[in-house]
Amino acid sequence: MPRLQPSHPDAPTYVEFPFQIDWNGRAATTDTTGHVRDLLEQILFTAPGERVNRPDFGSGIDHAVFRPNSELLVQTIRATTEAALQQWLGHVIQVVSLDVQAEDSRLTVEVVFSLRNSNEPRTVKFERAL
């Protein structure tokens, strides 16, 4: 459901991802926290090579769903995902913790982060059935 405009008139607004139309017939917008959540989702679930002009964008995490689970796989996924988040969002967020779980055809990613301009930790959780 699209969020309403921020209550503070000087607060930045961003176009919602995925693109939606709000109840006024305009492009739905979100606040800074929602925008960062949208960016996290794009980075986590975009495979490297999927974007034409940015072939190294993304983490490729969804390729791990059908691989045999092992501690080495979990550590590899965590390292590549943290590297992707640092590369593409390192100027905006500080990753506090990252938890990745692949069970059968379901992928769960939980990211605890704080915005660089505040120390308040925030948690987002993504689940994908592939």
**pLDDT tens readout for residues 59-78:** 877 676 666 666 777 778 88
Q: Quick one: pLDDT at residue 85?
A: 92
* 3-class secondary-structure state, position 34: helix
- Write down all domains in the chain, each with its CATH number in brackets: 31-129 (3.10.450.40)
Reply yes or no on whether the pLDDT at 6 is more than 50: no
Cα–Cα distance for residue pair 123/115, rounded to 1 Å? 11
Reply yes or no on whether the pLDDT at 122 is more than 80: yes
Mean pLDDT across the chain? 80
